[in-house]
Amino acid sequence: MPITAIVLAAGEGTRMKSRHPKVMHKVLDSPLVGWAVRSAQEAGADRVVVVVGNGADEVRSYLSAFDGVETVEQTQRLGTGHACRVALEGAGVTEGTVVVLSGDSPLLRAQTVRDLAQRVDSGKESGCVLTMTPPDVTGYGRVVVDEAGRVQAIIEHKDCTPEQREALRECNSGVYAFDARELNAHIGQITNNNVQGEYYLTDMIQIMREAGLAVSSVHCDDYAELLGVNSRIQLAQATKIMQRRINEAHMAAGVTMIDPDQVWIGPDVTIGQDTVIWPGCYLLGATTVGTECTIGPDSRLTNATVGNNVLADETIIVDSTVDDDVHCGPRAYLRGGAHFCRGSKAGTHVEIKGSTVGEGSKVPHLSYIGDATLGKGVNIGGGSITCNYDGKHKSHTEIGDNVFVGSDTMMVAPVTIGDGALVGASSCITQDVPAGALALERSRQFVKEGWATEYFKKLKEED
Ligand code: UD1
Ligand code: CA
């Protein structure tokens, strides 16, 4: 039977004190709602329906990048039961298993969701609630069980008697699995006769039980998995837990981290065996790193494709590719589709944008190379720059194989330097240089023997 995940994400999130919806705040590079969607998809959900409301446009536009994710808008926040009903009706969820998740709980593991869904998917039960026992139970709905330990009902903190608040320690995590037919059949019975005047989804448990349906609970022993994010402090706490979880998975798979507390890796990053990551590194987006690399210290890789045996020392690589055996840094900045081919080098204080640097070519010191193609075995002298922008247009620079460009050369694009050419230092190259040619653009040097000695002597005599 199909599994549909309903992610409740319409809430206000006032405690974030933000102009953005709560679920768009990020834990390691992914908005909170992205984590919920990811767990649902990893758990095998065939459909994911996200209930949006507060900041709906922002959430919808982010989710449009995901395959198989639908959104339904809840225009009035009348409670979790209402939100769920809006999803069922809006997306037309009529059969199979429904799993309900909160958009603000990024730490929930896919395996936990899968196990919960299985209880209903197997046909054994019509409803199952995931419970937890946090150290501080304040604010959570409490799970009421009978003598046999079977779940009877959930009572919201605000609706509990003082005795219930004290006695009931098992709490509702806000994650559930339901049989879609039974959920549809009974969701209309939820009322808003409670302290908050809201339609509580939690009431489904008692309603289903009273209808003679089998309902149960599953206890999640790792309470941290269910940590909800309601404030920036909790956002930082969730980030810390997720950072540890991700880093430990990479270390278990053969990646060395000198200090995992100082390494931040996003959920979609892959890293090969025997790569060493030094402190101060961020690996984000769709970054892949090969084997035997050294990353950092202090490097940031965003949507970077990095081969094997690469050194990225104090280097920023954004939307760019670095092949095997490339050395970068310290302090290199590769961006906008830069491509360093095998064995090439980006040295110190260099910026490379939208350029291909051929095999074994070097840009070692203080250069800007933008919109250029460099062949194999090229050497770019220190301080040399491609002048690719005239204030309006970007133009291309073409540099052939085995070209030697002297230091402090300006290459005014569009311009081509042929294979094996040599450009003398300090030249301003505005015309194409043929293959094998020498190009030199500088005024002749002026020398007067003994002039300086006389000059300084005179200055001293004046004192
Ligand atoms: C809910 C549970 C509580 C549980 C707790 C766990 C209810 C009534 N209570 O309480 O038993 O212990 O989660 O964290 O369900 N939302 C909507 N539309 C609405 C209302 C809420 O989309 O009209 C979304 C919120 O954005 C949030 C989720 O549903 O993502 C939970 O709502 P929230 O108001 O935070 O419920 P809690 O008070 O935390
Ligand atoms: Ca909450």
Looking at every residue in the chain, the average pLDDT score rounds to: 97
Ligand 2 midpoint to CA 150 (Å): 25
Q: Average pLDDT in the 267-285 region?
A: 98
Name the amino acid, one letter, at 295.
Answer: I
What secondary structure letter does DSSP report for 445?
A: P
Check if the beta carbon of residue 276 is closer than 8 Å to that of residue 256: yes
For 328, which DSSP code?
A: E
Contact status, residue 298 vs residue 280, Cβ threshold 8 Å? yes
Catalytic position from the list 250, 365, 393, 396: 365
Residue of 33, 37, 80 best suited for mutating to test ligand 1, as the one with most atoms within 8 Å of CB = 80
User: Does residue 106 line the site of ligand 1, with CB under 6 A?
Assistant: no
Spatial distance between the Cα atoms of 130 and 220, rounded to a whole number of angstroms: 7
pLDDT at 151: 96
Is the pTM here over 0.85, yes or no? yes
Pocket flag, ligand 1, residue 157 (CB < 6 Å): no
Q: What pLDDT, on the 0 to 100 scale, is given for residue 189?
A: 98
HSE toward the beta carbon, residue 108, CA cutoff 13 A: 37
Ligand nearest to the CA of 202: 1
Distance from Cα 230 to the centre of ligand 2, integer Å: 7
With beta carbons less than 8 A apart as the criterion, state whether 437 and 429 touch.
no
Look at residue 429 in the predicted model and tell me its pLDDT: 98
Tell me the per-residue pLDDT of 176-232, one tens digit each, with 9 for 90 and over. Answer: 999 999 999 999 999 999 999 999 999 999 999 999 999 999 999 999 999 999 999
CA 26 to chain centre: 8
Q: How large a percentage of the chain has pLDDT more than 90?
A: 98
Q: Is 358 in the pocket of ligand 1 (CB under 6 A)?
A: no
Let me know: does 72 contact 87? Beta carbons within 8 Å.
yes
Give the ligand whose atoms come closest to the C-alpha of residue 231.
2
Res 409 pLDDT > 90: yes
Residue 21 has pLDDT above 90, yes or no: yes
| Rounded alpha-carbon distances, angstroms, from residue 460 to 94, 449, 451, 455, 463 | 98, 20, 15, 9, 6
The end-to-end CA distance of the chain, in Å, is: 99
**Run of H or E including 166:** helix 162-167
| C-alpha of residue 102 to centroid of ligand 2, in Å | 8
Maximal CA-CA distance, the chain: 112
Evaluate if residue 258 carries a pLDDT over 90.
Answer: yes
Tell me the mean pLDDT in the region 269-279.
98
Instruction: Name the helix (H) or strand (E) containing 71.
Output: strand 69-73
Catalytic status, residue 365: yes
**Ordered DSSP codes for 109-122:** -HHHHHHHHHHHHT
Nearest CA owner, ligand 1 atom 3: 141
Q: Phi, psi at residue 189, to the nearest 5°?
A: -80, -10
| 20 burial type by CB count under 10 A (0-12 exposed, 13-18 middle, 19+ buried) | middle
- % pLDDT > 70, the chain: 100
Q: Which atom of ligand 1 is nearest to the CA of 79?
A: 23
Residue in the block written with tokens 């709560």: 22
Is any ligand 1 atom within 6 A of the Cβ of residue 341? no
Instruction: Give me the pLDDT at residue 97, please.
Output: 98
- Give residue 455's region: left, alpha or beta (phi > 0; psi -120 to 50): alpha
Query: Which tens digit of pLDDT belongs to each residue from 23-44?
Result: 999 999 999 999 999 999 999 9
pLDDT tens readout for residues 350-359: 999 999 999 9
pLDDT at 463: 85
Q: pLDDT value at position 12?
A: 84
In one-letter notation, the amino acid at residue 93 is: V
Return the pLDDT at 89. 98
- Ligand 1 atom with the smallest distance to the CA of 173 is 6
For the cut 90, the answer to whether the pLDDT of residue 273 exceeds it is yes
Q: Where are any strands of DSSP class E within 315-427?
A: 315-318, 321-322, 327-328, 332-335, 339-340, 345-348, 350-353, 356-357, 362-365, 368-370, 372-374, 379-380, 385-387, 397-399, 404-405, 410-412, 415-417, 422-423
Distance 80 CA to ligand 1 centre (A): 6
pLDDT tens per residue, range 122-148: 998 999 999 999 999 999 999 999 999
From the CA of 8, the nearest ligand is 1
Tokens of 27: 């834990």
Atom of ligand 1 nearest to the CA of 12: 26
Question: Ligand 1 atom closest to Cα of 230?
Answer: 35
Whole-number pLDDT of residue 309:
98
- Ligand 2 centroid – CA 203 distance (Å): 16
